[in-house]
Amino acid sequence: MLKEKSKVPKEYLEQLERRRYSPNTIQTYLSLFEKFLSHFNSIEPEQLNDSHVAEFQTYLVSEKKVSTSSQNQYINAIKFYFEKVLGRERGYYHIERPIKEFRLPKVLTEKEVSAILNSVHNLKHKAMLLMVYSSGLRAGELIKLHIGDIDSEQMRVFVRGGKGKKDRVTILSQKALVVLREYFKKYRPKEYLFEGQNGGQYSDSSLRRVFISAIQRAKLSKRVTLHSLRHSFATHLLEKGVDIRYIQVLLGHNSSQTTEIYTHITHKGWEKIQSPLDNLNLDD
DSSP per-residue letters across 232-270: HHHHHHHHTT--HHHHHHHHT-SSHHHHGGGGGT--TTG
The answer to whether residue 138 is catalytic is: yes
Q: How far apart are CA 65 and CA 59, in angstroms?
A: 8
User: Under DSSP, is residue 113 helix (H, G, I), strand (E, B) or coil?
Assistant: helix
In this structure, whether the domain defined by 110-264 belongs to CATH 1.10.443.10 is answered with: yes
Q: What pLDDT, on a 0 to 100 scale, did the predictor assign at position 93?
A: 46
Which CA distances in Å does 197 have to 76, 188, 189, 226, 238?
Answer: 36, 12, 10, 21, 37
Q: How far apart are CA 199 and CA 58, in angstroms?
A: 46
Q: What percent of the chain has pLDDT over 90?
A: 55
pLDDT averaged over every residue in the chain: 87
The C-alpha angle 102, 225, 245, rounded to 5 degrees, equals 55
Is-contact 26 17, C-beta < 8 A?
A: yes
Instruction: For residue 25, give every residue at least 6 positions away whose Cβ sits within 8 Å of its Cβ, in sequence order, or none.
Output: 16
Q: What pLDDT, on a 0 to 100 scale, did the predictor assign at position 92?
A: 46
The answer to whether residue 106 is catalytic is: no
The answer to whether residue 125 is catalytic is: no
Q: What percent of the chain has pLDDT over 70?
A: 92
Reference 266, options 108, 90, 118, 98; nearest CA is: 108
pLDDT tier, 23 (very low <50, low <70, confident <90, very high otherwise): confident
> Quick check: 26 pLDDT over 50?
yes
Query: Which residue of the set 39, 124, 156, 227 is catalytic?
Result: 227
Query: Which residue of the set 124, 163, 168, 268 is catalytic?
Result: 163
Query: Which residue of the set 125, 144, 236, 253 is catalytic?
Result: 253
User: Under DSSP, is residue 169 helix (H, G, I), strand (E, B) or coil?
Assistant: strand
**Mean pLDDT across the stretch 34-62?**
90
Domain spans of the chain, in order of start: 10-85, 110-264
The answer to whether residue 121 is catalytic is: no
Query: Which residue of the set 74, 81, 183, 262 is catalytic?
Result: 262
pLDDT tens, residue by residue, 163-199: 767 889 999 999 999 999 999 999 999 999 999 988 8
The answer to whether residue 163 is catalytic is: yes
pLDDT tens, residue by residue, 251-274: 998 888 888 888 877 777 767 777
Query: Which residue of the set 125, 126, 138, 236 is catalytic?
Result: 138
The answer to whether residue 262 is catalytic is: yes
The top-level CATH class assigned to 10-85 is: mainly alpha
pLDDT tens, residue by residue, 129-143: 999 999 999 999 999
